[in-house]
Every structure is written in C-alpha cells, then in structure tokens.
Amino acid sequence: MNHTQDADVIIVGAGIAGSGLACALARYNLRILLLEKRRRLGSIHRGDSLVPKNTALLAKWGILEAFIQAGAEPITHMELHHHRHGRIYRAPLLAGSSPYLVLPHAKIEKTLLEQALATGKVNLVQPAKALNLIHRDQLAIGGIRYQDEQGTHEVYAPIVVGADGHKSIIREQIGVEVDAYHYDHAYFGLEAQRPTHYENAMRVQLHPEGGVLLMPRPDRVGVGMLVAANSSNYWLKLPDAELTQILVSRAPILEGMPLYREGSHVYSLVRSHAKRYWLEGAVIIGDAAHTTNPTAGQGMAMALSDAGALAEQIGPVLAAGETTLTNALTQYGQQQWSVNQKLVRSSHRLALVYAKRGPFWHRLKTTGIKLLANPLAVSLTRPVIASFLESA
C-alpha cells in the first residue's frame, strides 16, 4: 500500500543525537518529524563536555554561538591531582581552532532542541511515545506508530531514525543485537559550590578508593565520584555531613563547599555496541547504537558525530527527491561503525585503568602519571588526548 509521506525523516528521541540530527538535516531543507516521549527535557548530570570535535560540528551547523549565549564556558586544561600530594599532571586540552566548552547537560539538550526548532523545518510532537515500526513490505520499514495525548497515530517517511537511547525500541525492532559489558563500578553525579580558586580546568582527583572528576560550571562544579556498582541506595541516602567527609578526603579542594544533591544520581555503566546500525527504512544513532563508559567523555561526542555523519549521507539523497537510501545507509554504517568501535574500545581501556582501586593500583597510576608529567611526555601524550577530543 502507498502512503502519503508525512515527513522526509522521522526521528524518535529528542536527546543529543535526535536534536543534533534534526539540526544537521534541516540544513538540507528537509521536513523532519521529531517524536519525544518525555514531557520536558531532564535535569540530571550526564556529561557537560562539548569536546572540540563537537564544537567543530556545531560551528558547521551554524549554531555554536547559541551555546555560548546559553552560558557554555571554554576550558583549556586537564589536570590530575593526587589526594594528598596535589597536582601531578597538567596538559592543554586543545591546539586547533575549535574550543572545548562545558555546559550542563540539560542546557546542551535544550539549546540543541531550540536550534532545531528555530530552523522552521522540524515538527516536534511531545510528549509522544513511539510504539512500533510499520513495515512497508516484508523487508522494508515505512513508518512508525506513536501515542500522544490524543491517541495513537501512524506516520510515514522514507526513513525512521532511532535516537531513542540505550533502551532503544527501534534497535530491538530491527533485530539488532548488542554485546553488553557491565562495569563493576558506577558514577555518583552531583554538584558542589565552586571554590573561588577553581580554575577553568577539567580536574581528576585520584584516590585509592575511586577517583573524583570535577567539571567547572559558572558558580558550581559538577562532581562525578567513582563508586561500586549497585551501591545507589547507600550513596543517595548518605547524610550530607558523611558524604562531604568522603568527598573531601578524595578531593580536598571541596573542603567547606556546600553540596547540591537535587538531580543527583548513581549511574550504572555499560559498554555496548550494536552489531549493525540499519535495516531498509530504519537506522539507529547515539546511545541507541552504542554506550561507553563516561570516563573518556565520548558518549555525547559519538552521538553528535553519528548525527553529522548520517546527515551527510542521507541529506543530499533526500534533498534530491530520492527515497532509496540503501547506498547512503551502507556508507554510513561502514564508516561510522569502525570510527565508533575504536572509541568504544579506547574508552573501555581507559575506564578499566581509571577504575582500578586499592593502594597498589593507586601507587602504580600516580607513579606512571608523574613520569608522564614532564613537558616532553606531555607533548608525546598529546596525540592520545587528541584522539578523544579532536578526531572525527
């Protein structure tokens, strides 16, 4: 049966990947239908970093300035600190022309969505929960069924994009398997008041019982403390005084700083990568396709890079009035899968080293880092840092 096309592209999920893709596709003058099940976007801590490869993409889409207007601040250095001996490593975070910016995750999501809507090409339906894909024929997918406050609807487009996060129903419905690795550690995310002498740097505090990552915000610092997996109840219920004591023992710079625990959360961490990304008529991007340990801060970067790469493949084809996307999706799948596989693997290795706990590993890590802290070693490790920040 032939159906009228309701849009050129249907995107499920208005997180970083979905809104990013909407921004990228709007440049091709396409009609985009964006479905988001949340009533409003969230306020939890899920990574604040817009690494240079992301800001380069945002600049390409003409929306970088909006993030600066929303309060994004540049950071220039990464520092590693020993909990007793102070700073043991400091390296620049950028060399090229694209800045490394930090902005709370919720504001990144909000700004991306606002920019997508400002193009006038994106029709957002919210709250609207995608239910299931509709098959055009036995092989290909032609649309999606979703539910909103008015009832259940069917919509049709040449392509449905699953940007619906790590529990993706689109991934499940196109029958894609993922290999999942569950880490023995988790991240406890919260905020603290920003110490007056805190520099605009990403700061990792090393400690035998688990490090603490600090990210600057205008008057606060984002705190990500490494804790054991399945310890959520313990940390979320711990009284402020005890939590402060533990945090200060790991990150002495937080001495005397009030904690802000609204929106705090303990994140279970999973590494996964879909075996493939698409089936005729549907494709997955962002966390729907891969999740990484956040130690290397690559999840959002990969979500935006997927959005940019997919738009470059399908955008020109759809803009030319074609609806057969097999070649474009093949290209996208081949290129982006291997780019992502490298990042998933390298993030995994870095995370395993960072998460090693106990006095032996702590001594080994700090000794290794001290050896790397001379100017020659900093310049030699520069390409490794750049691979996380700058390569596409």
Ligand X SMILES: Cc1cc2nc3c(=O)[nH]c(=O)nc-3n(C[C@H](O)[C@H](O)[C@H](O)COP(=O)(O)OP(=O)(O)OC[C@H]3O[C@@H](n4cnc5c(N)ncnc54)[C@H](O)[C@@H]3O)c2cc1C
Closest to ligand X by CB, 229 vs 377, is: 229
Q: Is 14 in the site for ligand X (CB under 6 A)?
A: yes
Q: Is the dihedral of CA 71, 77, 78, 84 positive or negative?
A: negative
Q: Which residues of 306-344 are buried (b: 16+ CB within 10 A; e: fewer)?
A: bbbbbbebbbebbeeeeeebeebbebbbeebbebbeebb
Q: Is 173 in the site for ligand X (CB under 6 A)?
A: no
- The residue among 276, 268, 293 whose CA lies nearest residue 345 is 293
Q: How far is the CB of 37 from ligand X (least distance, A)?
A: 4
> Pick from 286, 308, 315, 333: which binds ligand X (CB under 6 A)?
286
Q: Is 12 in the site for ligand X (CB under 6 A)?
A: yes
d(CA 98, CA 75): 11
| Of 56-64, 162-170, 203-211, 336-344: span binding ligand X (CB under 6 A) | 162-170
Q: Which helix (H) or strand (E) holds 369?
A: helix 359-372
Going residue by residue from 96 to 135, which x/- string records binding to ligand X, judged by CB under 6 A?
A: ---------------------------------xx-----
Q: Is 187 in the site for ligand X (CB under 6 A)?
A: yes
Q: How far is the CB of 217 from ligand X (least distance, A)?
A: 13
Q: Which residues of 5-27 are buried (b: 16+ CB within 10 A; e: fewer)?
A: bbbbbbbbbbbbbbbbbbbbbbe
DSSP per-residue codes, 213-277: EEEE-SSEEEEEEEEETT-HHHHHHS-HHHHHHHHHHH-GGGTTPPEEEEEEEEEEEEEEEES--
Closest to ligand X by CB, 111 vs 298, is: 298
Q: Is 158 in the site for ligand X (CB under 6 A)?
A: no
Query: Other CB atoms closer than 10 Å to residue 150's CB: what's the count?
Result: 8
Name the phi and psi angles at 9, rounded to 5. -140, 135
Sheet hosting strand 129-135, strand order edge to edge = 129-135, 141-148, 151-156
The helix/strand/coil state of 12 is strand
> Pick from 98, 244, 298, 340: which binds ligand X (CB under 6 A)?
298
| Of 73-81, 157-165, 200-208, 359-367: span binding ligand X (CB under 6 A) | 157-165
Q: Are 267 and 186 spatial neighbours (Cβ–Cβ below 8 Å)?
A: yes
| Of 46-54, 193-201, 245-253, 274-282: span binding ligand X (CB under 6 A) | 46-54
Q: How far is the CB of 2 from ligand X (least distance, A)?
A: 26
Closest to ligand X by CB, 48 vs 280, is: 48
Q: Is 164 in the site for ligand X (CB under 6 A)?
A: yes
Q: Is 37 in the site for ligand X (CB under 6 A)?
A: yes
> Pick from 25, 155, 300, 309: which binds ligand X (CB under 6 A)?
300
Q: Is 17 in the site for ligand X (CB under 6 A)?
A: yes
Q: Which residues bind ligand X (CB under 6 A)?
A: 12-18, 35-38, 46-47, 49, 129-130, 163-165, 169, 187, 189, 267, 286-287, 294, 297-301, 303
